[in-house]
């Protein structure tokens, strides 16, 4: 291992002390963060919806994206879908739906948006056809159920939806697929259809909002934090005096920062999805980003899996590409733990783990992905990771003391504006 | 399938309507619950710690159990452990610890407590022995770290602890094991050592408490609920006007009840660990039970896994048998979904799933376990499950409508006092 912390207990203690002394007052630490926050406020959103793009190059109607709609708007959409189907029947063309094709061949990467978009292309789903009769029936049934949900203003999970008519749906993948078809067909997000994902994320820090009418103050949520609500449309009146959002991969790091009330010294909102991000946490992050126009700094493990997690937050998953505009948060800054931090912060050799073959494969695949390639600094970090073959968890910083993360590492990173 | 709901859509609608009409006013519904709550208040705890038992049959010093201790008490324990070690050295007997033996041979089932207890039996862990020198060193290091944690009043995870000295601990299972040894040796719970589990449970309903000083009102936590804190010792001032605690296996059911504000009509506290219960949720439930003296009613899937989950809440895991007194909540009532409910509530055939071979094996093993055998009603239900070979999820109730669970099924179960 390199650096001063190599030789003995004493030199480690001296190193920690030296590092700790580098941390200046909060005002100084936050200098670069403030600049970043100002920028984020000035340029809140890069070209991110199709409407922002050059209309001659991307004429309207070429692509299909969905938007959040309130319950009444969804009711209208459902009713007009049924009305149109009735008109087709009356015109003698039979009962059929026009369903968007969501297959891979229709997914295109748009450079200006830096994400995948669904090409506009629909196919008929006629009831009077042996190949699509079942699908048309299931579509009709789910339209009816969505209508009921929106009329009653209640939310259910995909699993609940499946169980309302097991005889018809047969297995959950069928009702799930058609639910996504429907969202796409009605032009609204799956959450707007009042079908939600179960949440596992938590939030704490300089944030207050109303959830289903209840006032929530995330500065006063103890150490456990507030569970991120599964239904984003019940969140309103978001306000905050934070300078940035700190996105944390693991709940151990979240707990450390929450217990140390990191957000009191460095005004921020701390979010974690406890590993792989779920839809509710992604929607919540995006909503915060849009409403508060704050920069997002990410703290993940220094391994390919940490980058994978960032990619889900930033680019979304293939399966829900029609909803990428609402689910993804572009422009997340990679604060740490970065491969170059391992030497810079003298992470002891025994806290670094050798990458497995699987890690190396994942890492090499990531190098080819657009979201990495569009940022040369990220490429350099990933190449460093692959060339050293070393990875490290956020917890590796505990080798310098339990509070090194909150009292030294993060303040130093912020103070130096060390994000990419 | 049996019953009225079999034949047509209309008869299903009639059946649901008939069931819904059975639900009386909240006052009536809560009659049996109130009786149960009164009983729970009168007989708050069955003989549950060794001190409650017949001292002639179980003389003090025969068994070892741990208790919650505050940070100062743990500091005292750590210091006296070191002091004793120093005395042994001065006496010329060398540096050694007396460590309790936690192996399976020392775990005994005590009928009066209806759980496993650790027999008192310690072994020497001398530093001057090739077989235990490493273990003695690790024990000393962890004693030092626990002292630091308690002195600083901060909490960390087991993973953090491991990373503070990877060179010495080598792998996490070693530091984890010795941490459990230490808890047992110092006579306090692992949480008292300020090493906590990451939480995944959530709570909502008629409950308020203080968490690290912050006032938390669980009636005003929207639909997402409050994340259960990882460090139970930061929870204080627990108060509630609930009649019972509703323990829910799945987060989908939790969400339904939270969104419908079930606790407004039927005063209760709703808790879920989202599947397999974690230590934090188990500690929280036990603390609520002890403080509020409320009955606990459980809503789990009608399958062997649902019973397994109940067993963890009620009996704990073998590995932490020394701490069973704090982690387990005996006397949980099985409200539903019970195998007999499937016919009683006319769950449609297609919502029932055939049990797999693995399910059958698990079910038969459960039949032999003490916590099932001690309750004939549970045995009968489990035997019914095994003989029909059918299982069902809580969500199967959605086949009668999304709100059937909160508006019909649960009120009817409560109204009839139908728990075992």
DSSP H/E element including B40: helix B31-42
Dist CA A232 CA B238 (whole Å): 30
Contact B227 A230 (CB under 8 A): no
What was the pLDDT predicted at A238? 96
With CA atoms as reference, the chain A residue closest to B165 would be A399
Mean pLDDT for each 10-residue chunk of chain A (420 residues)? 53 86 89 87 69 78 84 94 91 90 80 77 90 93 94 88 86 90 90 84 95 93 90 90 94 91 95 90 92 94 93 79 80 93 91 91 91 90 96 90 92 93
Dist CA B419 CA B237 (whole Å): 30
The candidate with the shortest Cα–Cα distance to A124, out of A111, A109, A135, A113, is: A135
Q: Which of A166, A397, A402 sits opposite B154 (nearest CB)?
A: A402
Given a contact cutoff of 8 angstroms between Cβ atoms, the answer to whether A280 and A230 are in contact is yes
- Identify all chain B residues contacting A397, using CB atoms and an 8 Å cutoff: 163
Q: Which of B200, B221, B252 sits opposite A214 (nearest CB)?
A: B221
DSSP assignment of B76-145, as one string?
HHHHHHHHHHHHHHHTTS-SEEEEE--SGGGEEEETTTTEEEEEP-EEEEESSSTTTHHHHHHHHHHHHH
Q: Which of B142, B150, B224, B270 to mutate to test the interface with A (most CBs of A within 10 A)?
A: B224
Contact B256 A221 (CB under 8 A): no
CB pairs under 8 A between A and B: 179
The CA distance from A206 to the nearest CA of chain B, in Å, is 14
The candidate with the shortest Cα–Cα distance to A284, out of A367, A344, A201, A176, is: A201
Active-site residue, selected from the candidate residues B15, B163, B263, B404? B163
Look-up of token digits 């670069």: A32
For residue B163, indicate whether it is catalytic.
Answer: yes
Dist CA A286 CA B392 (whole Å): 37
Given a contact cutoff of 8 angstroms between Cβ atoms, the answer to whether B41 and B291 are in contact is no
Q: Which of A164, A216, A398 sits opposite B399 (nearest CB)?
A: A164
Q: Is position B148 annotated in a ligand binding site?
A: no
Given a contact cutoff of 8 angstroms between Cβ atoms, the answer to whether A230 and A199 are in contact is yes
Contact A252 B216 (CB under 8 A): no
The candidate with the shortest Cα–Cα distance to B140, out of B96, B194, B183, B108, is: B96
Contact A163 B393 (CB under 8 A): yes
The pLDDT tens digits for A327-362 are 888 889 999 899 999 999 999 888 888 999 999 999
- Identify all chain A residues contacting B236, using CB atoms and an 8 Å cutoff: none
DSSP assignment of B157-215, as one string?
EHHHHHHTTHHHH-SHHHHHHHHHHHHHHHTB-TGGGTEEPPP--EEEES-EEEETTEE
Given a contact cutoff of 8 angstroms between Cβ atoms, the answer to whether A322 and A382 are in contact is no
What was the pLDDT predicted at B209? 96
What was the pLDDT predicted at B3? 43
Q: Which of A224, A235, A346 to mutate to test the interface with B (most CBs of B within 10 A)?
A: A224
Domain locations in chain A as residue ranges: 4-43+197-415, 63-196
Dist CA A97 CA B349 (whole Å): 31
Dist CA B256 CA A338 (whole Å): 41
Strands (E), B218-321: 226-227, 235-239, 244-248, 268-272, 296-299
pLDDT in tens, chain B (420 residues): 444 444 577 788 888 888 889 899 888 889 888 888 888 888 766 546 777 777 788 887 788 888 888 999 999 999 999 999 899 899 998 999 999 988 878 887 777 777 777 888 888 999 999 999 999 999 999 999 999 999 999 888 888 888 888 888 888 889 999 999 999 999 888 888 999 876 789 999 999 999 999 999 999 998 889 999 888 888 999 999 999 999 999 888 998 999 999 999 999 999 999 888 988 899 999 999 989 999 999 999 999 999 999 988 988 776 677 777 778 888 899 999 999 999 999 998 888 889 999 999 999 999 998 878 889 999 999 999 999 999 999 988 988 888 999 999 999 999 999 999
Burial of B388 (0-12, 13-18, 19+ CB in 10 A): middle
Dist CA A44 CA A419 (whole Å): 18
Q: Is position A357 annotated in a ligand binding site?
A: no
What was the pLDDT predicted at B402? 87
DSSP H/E element including A114: none
Does A4-43+197-415 match A63-196 in CATH topology?
A: no
pLDDT above 70 covers what percent of chain A? 96
Q: Which of B166, B167, B216 sits opposite A222 (nearest CB)?
A: B216
Return the number of other C-beta atoms located less than 10 Å from residue B82's C-beta: 15
Dist CA A103 CA A120 (whole Å): 11
What was the pLDDT predicted at B366? 92
Strands (E), A14-70: 63-64
Q: Which of B154, B165, B399 sits opposite A163 (nearest CB)?
A: B399
Contacts (Cβ under 8 Å, ≥6 apart) of A221: A203, A204, B211, B214, B216, B226, B227
Q: Residue B333 CA to chain centroid, in angstroms?
A: 13
What was the pLDDT predicted at B7? 53
3-state secondary structure at position B358: helix
Fold classification of A4-43+197-415 (topology level): Dna Topoisomerase Vi A Subunit; Chain: A, domain 2 (3.40.1360)
The candidate with the shortest Cα–Cα distance to B99, out of B322, B317, B276, is: B322
3-state secondary structure at position A156: strand
The CA distance from B218 to the nearest CA of chain A, in Å, is 10
What was the pLDDT predicted at A1? 40
- Please give the CATH number for the structural domain made up of B4-43+198-415: 3.40.1360.10
Fold classification of A63-196 (topology level): Arc Repressor Mutant, subunit A (1.10.10)
Dist CA B11 CA A275 (whole Å): 46
Contacts (Cβ under 8 Å, ≥6 apart) of A98: A122, A123, A124, A125, A185
Given a contact cutoff of 8 angstroms between Cβ atoms, the answer to whether A301 and A337 are in contact is yes
The CA distance from A95 to the nearest CA of chain B, in Å, is 23
Q: Residue B389 CA to chain centroid, in angstroms?
A: 28
Contacts (Cβ under 8 Å, ≥6 apart) of A134: none
Instruction: Name the phi and psi angles at B12, rounded to 5.
Output: -65, -45
- Identify all chain A residues contacting B397, using CB atoms and an 8 Å cutoff: 163
- Identify all chain B residues contacting A228, using CB atoms and an 8 Å cutoff: 224
Dist CA B410 CA B244 (whole Å): 13
The candidate with the shortest Cα–Cα distance to A341, out of A387, A399, A384, is: A384
Longest dimension (CA), chain A: 88
DSSP H/E element including B412: helix B410-415
Distances (CA, A) of A2 to A14, A386, A387: 15, 18, 16
The candidate with the shortest Cα–Cα distance to B265, out of B420, B15, B33, is: B33
- Identify all chain B residues contacting A274, using CB atoms and an 8 Å cutoff: 198, 200
């Amino acid at each position: 291992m390199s650096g001063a912390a190599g030789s003995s207990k004493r030199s480690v203690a001296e190193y920690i002390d030296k590092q700790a002394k580098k941390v200046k007052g909060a005002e100084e630490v936050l200098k670069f963060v403030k600049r970043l926050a100002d920028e984020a406020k000035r340029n809140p959103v890069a070209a991110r919806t199709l409407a922002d793009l050059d209309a001659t190059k991307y004429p309207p109607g070429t692509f299909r994206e969905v938007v959040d709609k309130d319950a009444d708007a969804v009711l209208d959409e459902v009713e007009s879908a049924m009305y149109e189907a009735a008109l087709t029947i009356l015109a003698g063309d039979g009962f059929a739906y026009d369903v968007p094709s969501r297959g891979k061949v229709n997914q295109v990467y748009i450079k200006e948006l830096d994400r995948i978009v669904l090409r506009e292309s629909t196919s008929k789903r006629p009831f009077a056809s042996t190949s699509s009769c079942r699908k048309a029936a299931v579509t009709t049934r789910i339209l009816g159920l969505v209508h009921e949900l929106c009329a009653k203003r209640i939310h259910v999970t995909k699993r609940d939806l499946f169980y309302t008519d097991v005889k018809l749906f047969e297995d959950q993948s069928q009702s799930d697929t058609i639910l996504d078809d429907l969202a796409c067909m009605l032009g609204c997000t799956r959450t707007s259809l009042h079908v939600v994902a179960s949440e596992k994320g938590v939030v704490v820090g300089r944030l207050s909002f109303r959830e289903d009418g209840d006032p929530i103050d995330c500065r006063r949520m103890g150490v456990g934090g507030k569970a991120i609500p599964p239904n984003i449309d019940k969140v309103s009146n978001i306000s905050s005096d934070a300078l940035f959002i700190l996105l944390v991969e693991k709940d151990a790091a979240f707990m450390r920062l929450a217990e140390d009330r990191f957000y009191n010294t460095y005004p921020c909102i701390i979010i974690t999805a406890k590993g792989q991000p779920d839809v509710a946490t992604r929607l919540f992050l995006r909503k915060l980003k849009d409403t508060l126009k704050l920069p997002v700094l990410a703290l993940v493990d220094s391994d390919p899996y940490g980058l994978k997690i960032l990619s889900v937050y930033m680019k979304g998953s293939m399966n829900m590409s029609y909803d990428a505009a609402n689910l993804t948060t572009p422009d997340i800054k990679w604060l740490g733990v970065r491969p170059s931090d391992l030497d810079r912060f003298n992470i002891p050799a025994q806290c670094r783990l050798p990458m497995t073959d699987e890690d190396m494969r994942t890492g090499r695949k990531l190098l080819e992905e657009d979201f990495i390639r569009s940022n040369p600094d990220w490429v350099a970090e990933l190449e460093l990771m692959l060339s050293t073959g070393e990875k490290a968890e956020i917890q590796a910083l505990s080798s310098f003391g339990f509070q090194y993360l909150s009292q030294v590492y993060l303040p130093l990173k912020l103070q130096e504006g060390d994000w990419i």
